[in-house]
Amino acid sequence: MSLYLRPTAFVDAPFGYDGQVLRLAGGLVWFSAVEIIRVESGKRVEQRLVPVDRIDEALDDRGRALLARITAPRPQITLGARVIRFDQPSAMAILNVTPDSFSDGGRHVGDPEAAAAAGVAMAEAGAAIIDVGGESTRPGAATVWEGDEIARIAPVIERLARAGVAVSADTRKAAVMRAALGAGAAMINDVSALTYDPEALAAVAAAGCPVVLMHHQGTPQDMQTNPHYGDVLIEVYDWLEARITAAEAAGIARDRILIDPGIGFGKRIAHNLALLNGLALFHGLGCPLVLGASRKRIIGALDNEAPAERRLGGSIAIAMKGIEQGAQLLRVHDAQETVQALKIWRGTRDEALTPRSR
């Protein structure tokens, strides 16, 4: 029987709640209850809410170890000259150098100087990381030859790295990973969680760099044909846990692993919504949580088929849904607007965390 714990019943601050709340992943979110879920043979056999002040008596040693993982602070990572902390949420801005990405395809193709300038502008707007991609992985996208992918991203990464920007490379291919890291990238973001290329695990392990492992079902060519899950929240959690185990076995330290539930990658709208509602469950994996839903199809589906360029409001709404559940890194197209939203959220949190006489 498998055990899962989902932090819930969030409160703004811990003051006056001694023994009644716990801090989530060392961040700025506190929770006052835990949903205990037990699964056997793929079915939930127990599901109940337990207040934090009674949680210890409800858990065995295995459950207490899982709870300790949920509350433990996430170690910071170093990307070049930049230190990325996870005690508060930050933004990872998307910079696609592709002709066919669903939102910004073609904007920066063939002009690395302009692409790099766009990346620097997003960093100046407050994005902690710039995520550079040279292959679209939208539904139906064709695979790009690794040589073309390297030619697209390496000149951009070189310029960004020289400007002191923290750079991540969004790629599934080991050769592209090595080239990107050689050009100055300091993190790999792999939508296949190092499953697409058999050399990818070894490439990341040898580099010793942080890596984002994202859940997916199928390939970009077929992932939205008929995605199916029995219990999407549990199945995505188990899949990511297995990928973390595989990464550790290959020599990748757990404190260099970030996870992403893969909104829109082999999921129907209902699957995506279930993942967003249950997002806090993934803190049980003990890794920083990345949420990438910016301008995605789920927003258009819930708003009269709004096109990608009119999905800013929905993107911010999902971002706020994520950080209220402790998501540490938001992968977004709209850096300035998202950073502004984070600043407002942080302002409300700072006020809540300032003890005052009443």
Question: Are the CB atoms for 198 and 173 separated by under 8 Å?
Answer: no
| Given 178, 256, 295, 331, the catalytic residue | 331
User: To the nearest whole percent, how much of the chain has pLDDT over 90?
Assistant: 87
What residue ranges in 41-126 does DSSP mark as E strands? 43-51, 77-79, 82-84, 90-96
Does the pLDDT value for residue 141 go beyond 80?
A: no
pLDDT of residue 138: 73
- The first and second tokens of residue 192, run together, are 């296949």
Q: What is the pLDDT of residues 197-206, one digit of tens each?
A: 999 999 999 9
Assigned CATH topology for domain 77-349: TIM Barrel (3.20.20)
Based on the number of CB atoms within 10 Å of its own CB, is 75 exposed (0-12), middle (13-18) or buried (19 or more)? middle
Q: Specify the range with the lowest mean pLDDT, choosing from 142-146, 216-220, 302-306.
A: 216-220
Alpha helices in 92-171 (DSSP H): 112-124, 146-162
| Given 152, 172, 178, 296, the catalytic residue | 296
At 101, the pLDDT band (50, 70, 90 cuts) reads low
Q: Is 74 a catalytic residue?
A: no
* 157: phi then psi, degrees, rounded to nearest 5: -60, -40
Mean residue pLDDT across the chain = 94
pTM of the model as a whole: 0.94
Rounded to 10 deg, the angle between the 146-162 and 112-124 helix axes is: 50
Boundaries of every domain in the chain: 2-71, 77-349
| Count of other CB atoms within 10 angstroms of residue 337 | 17
**Mean per-residue pLDDT, 214-230:** 81
Q: What is the pLDDT of residues 251-302, one digit of tens each?
A: 999 999 999 999 999 999 999 999 999 999 999 999 999 999 999 999 999 9
At 102, the pLDDT band (50, 70, 90 cuts) reads low
SS3 277: helix
Q: Is 267 a catalytic residue?
A: no
pLDDT of residue 103: 55
Q: What is the pLDDT of residues 148-173, one digit of tens each?
A: 999 999 999 999 999 999 999 999 99
pLDDT of residue 99: 79
